[in-house]
Amino acid sequence: MNRRDAIARVSLLLGGTIIGAEAFLSGCTNPPEQKLGGMGTNFSNADIAFLDEVAETILPKTDTPGAKDAQVGAFMTRIVKDCYTEADQKTFLDGMQKLDDASKKKNGKSFMESTADQRHDLLVDLDKEAKAYASTKKKDDPNHYFRLMKELTLWGYFTSEPGATKALRYVPVPGKYQGCIDYKKGDKAWATS
C-alpha cells in the first residue's frame, strides 16, 4: 500500500479530510506560496506530555491501549513541525495555550492539574466550539485549534502499532478476498496494512 492509500483510508476513518495531509502526501515538499516548517517549531518534553494528556482524554485507555500508550503527543509534534503550513503551525501552537487558558477559566487550574473528568468536560466544550466554528468558517479562515488536535490524535492513534493491532482487527497477511462479510454488533473495524 502506498502512502496516498493509507491517508485516504485514515481520512475515511476520521470522516473527512485531514488538515496537513496534502503536505504529508507530497513528502512535505514546500508549496510555492507557503513554506512548511518555517516557524522553527521546537516542542519541549513538557509540550509532548501536554499533547499526550490531551490525546489520552480524547482516546483514553480502556480494555485497549490509550493514545498515550501510542505516543500520540510525539506524533502530533512531528506532523505539525514537518507537514503543517506556517498558518496551521501558529494555530496549533496558539491553541495549546488557548486550551490551557480555557482550563484555567473553567476549572480554576491548568489542564495538566485538572482531573480526568474536568479534562473530559473541557474537551467536550471545545469540540462543540470547533463544530460551531466549522459550520460558519469561510475558506480563508484559519482552522480551529481543537480540530487540528483531535484529527492528529485519531490519525496518530489508529496508524500506531497499539491502535492498529489492539483497537482494530489486524491481519498482517490477509487471506482470500471476501467482498461481503457479515457485521456483528460490537465488532472492531479492520486495520489496513
pTM, rounded to two decimals? 0.71
C-alpha torsion angle, residues 12, 142, 21, 30 (rounded to 10): 170
Q: Which residues contact 33 (CB under 8 A, 6 or more apart)?
A: none
Give the number of C-alpha atoms closer than 13 A to the C-alpha of residue 136, restricted to the C-beta side.
5
The structural domains of the chain, with segments of one domain joined by +, span 3-167
Nearest Cα residue to 191 out of 164, 173, 155, 151? 164
The answer to whether 127 and 151 have CB atoms below 8 angstroms apart is no
126-161 pLDDT per residue, tens: 999 999 999 999 989 999 999 999 999 999 999 998
pLDDT at position 37 is 43
The answer to whether 109 and 80 have CB atoms below 8 angstroms apart is no
